Structure 1
């Protein structure tokens, strides 16, 4: 099966939406939002995205969340549940299931494997503190631009 490529001018729009997913992976994103970011109808956007990147926008969004979860499980002392919520999943079951589908092992197995290797771990409190500080500064910048 060959993947059909989108015309060059459409790639700019698709990349804009893909970059939006990369920046906002923790947020719930739907086709209406991503289509609007790309400047395309949601159905046309979904067809072109899948043809170009080989994944639906929802699958890409989920994959980005799992990739970030891998980083957190490798490098922090956060629990699997904390990581699940930190990357935007609302259900531990769906997170674990999707993680296993993409990575080939459960989040707990993945985390244990890296912990056994003695990799340095960042305390979870630093991660959450940084995240809260980052969100507060973003909100301040948004408020400053609105006034």
Structure 2
């Protein structure tokens, strides 16, 4: 048993894994494109439902969350390494709406793009990254999307409600 994979998750066959890697590689190469499950399933020669289940079993994330993580990862790299505007970065990383990009970016990273730009530039000067392999650099900045963005929003709202309830209880005593 591997520590990275829970015991309940079966190991996909090598042939299935090759098909899934084909879809994953396509998403990596063109994360700015639209990748609906139907398109990915067709690429692999699988049904939509089977593809989605197999992808999650193999890589630990559903296809949509994986694509989101790649887009946010790319946006963080562009924020750190370029002087492009947030709007240009949103469009280059596959977002149609600046509002959706900003909200999703904030939900995943915890900060707005401009704040992340400042933080990344302050913490990691571009010259310090010159000798580091790109794959290691990208993996280090990959966002954690094991839970859905909407689930993170619900948790944040619940935490805010719990905090306000605690303050209300203190005021009553």
1:85 paired with 2:121, answer no
3-state SS in 2 of match to 1:37: helix
Name the counterpart of 1:128: none
Name the counterpart of 1:5: 11
**Quick one: distance in 2 between partners of 1:27 and 1:118?**
29
Give how far 1:117 is off. Answer: 5.9
> Runs of 4 or more off by more than 3 Å in structure 1?
1-4, 114-120
Output aligned runs, 1:23-42, within 5 Å: 23-42=29-48
Give how far 1:118 is off. Answer: 8.8
Runs of at least 5 residues in structure 2 that lack an aligned partner in the other structure: 1-5, 127-173
- TM-score, scaled to structure 2: 0.63
2:55 to 49, 53, 57: 49
Runs of at least 5 residues in structure 1 that lack an aligned partner in the other structure: 121-147
The change in CA–CA distance for 1:118 and 1:10 in structure 2 (over 3 A counts) is closer
**Quick one: distance in 2 between partners of 1:39 and 1:18?**
14
Aligned residues: 121
Name the counterpart of 1:99: 105
3-state SS in 2 of match to 1:40: coil
Give how far 1:53 is off. Answer: 1.0
Q: String of CA shifts for 1:76-132, please: whole Å, max 9, x gaps.
A: 001111101110111122212222233232211101223456945xxxxxxxxxxxx
Name the counterpart of 2:119: 113
Q: Which has the larger radius of gyration?
A: 2
- TM-score, scaled to structure 1: 0.74
